[in-house]
Amino acid sequence: MTLPIENTGSLLPHTGDAITEMQRRSHIALSALHRGVDRLVLTDFPDYENIGDSVIALGQAEFWRQAGIGVEATYSWRTISPKVYESPVPVAIQGGGNFGGLYPQHSEHRYRLAERLDPLIELIQEPQSVHFETDADRRAFARRMAPRRRLRMAVRDRVSFATVSAHVPNVILAPDSVHMLGHLESAAPSTAVVHLLRRDDESAGPGSIATAVDWPAMTFADRLRQRLSRTFAEGAVTRTMNRSTDRWFADAAKRLATGVALLSPGETIITDRLHAMLIALQMGRRVIAIDNANGKLSSYAATWFEDLDLPLEFAPDLAAATDMV
- The structural domains of the chain, with segments of one domain joined by +, span 18-181, 191-324
pLDDT: is 237 or 199 the higher one? Answer: 199
What per-residue confidence (pLDDT) applies to 105? 83
Average pLDDT over residues 293-317: 94
Taking the CA of residue 31 as centre, how many other CA atoms within 13 Å lie in the half-sphere pointing to its CB?
A: 10
Say what angle helices 51-67 and 18-33 make with each other, to 10 degrees.
70
**Residue 202: pLDDT over 70:** no
Provide the angle, in degrees to the nearest 10, between the axes of the packed helices 274-282 and 296-304.
40
What three-state secondary structure class fits 145?
coil
Amino acid at 141: F
pLDDT on residue 241: 62
Specify the range with the lowest mean pLDDT, choosing from 49-53, 233-237, 272-276. Answer: 233-237
Query: Could you read off the pLDDT of 131-180 as tens digits, one per residue?
Result: 888 999 999 999 999 999 999 999 999 999 999 998 998 899 999 999 99
- What does the DSSP 8-state code read for residue 85? G
Number of other residues whose CB lies within 10 A of the CB of residue 105: 10
As a whole number of angstroms, the distance between CA 123 and CA 292 comes to: 29
Calpha distance 44→109 (Å, rounded): 8
- Which CATH code is given to the segment(s) 18-181? 3.40.50
**Lowest-pLDDT range of 2-16, 99-113, 291-305:** 2-16
Q: Which amino acid is at 248?
A: W
Predicted confidence (pLDDT) per residue in 37-48, tens digit: 999 999 999 987
261 has pLDDT over 70: yes
pLDDT on residue 227: 52
Check: pTM over 0.85? Answer yes or no. yes
pLDDT digits (tens, 9 = 90+) for 81-106: 899 999 999 999 999 876 777 778 88
Q: What is the pLDDT, as a whole number, of residue 50?
A: 87
One-letter amino acid at 313 equals E
- Name the band, by pLDDT with cuts 50, 70 and 90, for residue 230: low
